[in-house]
Structure 1
Amino acid sequence: MLYNLCAIITAISAAVSLGFALAAYWQSRASDDTSGINARYALSRSGALAIGALGLLLFHSPEYLAALAIVMTFVQLFDSAIGRRVSKFKTYGPLATGLVNAIVLALYLMQ
């Protein structure tokens, strides 16, 4: 049960990250300046993490879950730090997601 919960939270986190990367890409797709290039890099990385997160739902692997949940926890915590300059929503949303992911992972690993 905790494996599935942690895998779902991790997948949702990766999907949200992918959504923001897609939005940045669409806003800058006509641009070849630094913002457009950075958006493409963010999209490629977020896409890879989202594909990896789908694997958590298909393959049961505690090691795989721990690795990707830790990665997505840090992604969300870094996003929260970046979001401080943007809005409360972009600060507290990723912070809450990262903390919940870390807590559920810890509970799963302690069982």
Structure 2
Amino acid sequence: MVYYYLCSSVTLISAIVSFGFSLDAYSKAKRQGESALTNAMYAMSRSFSLVLACLIPIFFETYSYLLAVAAAMIGVQFFDGFVGLRVKNAFKTIGPFATAAGNGLLLLLLLLN
């Protein structure tokens, strides 16, 4: 039970952080033009949807659903780490990779119990 709530909490926090970065991109895109603003709005809508999806396991104990949303967020964070590598930003590289690894470990512990 403890691993379930730890995994669901880290998954939700990960989604909220991702949404925060999309909000930041949206605010910066307002100054760049219509195309950048449209792309930022798409990213923001997807990130917000992930936050909503990650709220469900907090309120309803469903292991299979948690497995799905945790795997999705692990993938998001893992690939965000590669974006960080591309832009040569240590914070945007290490943070997502560490989050993906931590969430993956919690998911593995949940599956083993």
How many residues were matched structurally?
A: 110
Quote the sequence identity (%): 43
Structure 1 portions without partners, runs of 5+: none
How far off is 1:98 after superposition?
A: 0.4
TM-score (norm 2): 0.94
Q: Pairwise mapping of residues 9-48 of structure 1 onto structure 2 (< 5 A)?
A: 9-29=10-30, 31-33=33-35, 35-48=36-49
Structure 2 portions without partners, runs of 5+: none
TM-score (norm 1): 0.95
2-side partners of 1:29 and 1:61: how far apart?
A: 39
Residue in 1 that maps onto 2:7: 6
CA RMSD across the alignment:
0.9
How far off is 1:28 after superposition?
A: 1.1
Q: Which among 69, 89, 92 is matched to residue 91 of structure 2?
A: 89
1-side partners of 2:22 and 2:57: how far apart?
A: 21
1-side partners of 2:17 and 2:62: how far apart?
A: 23
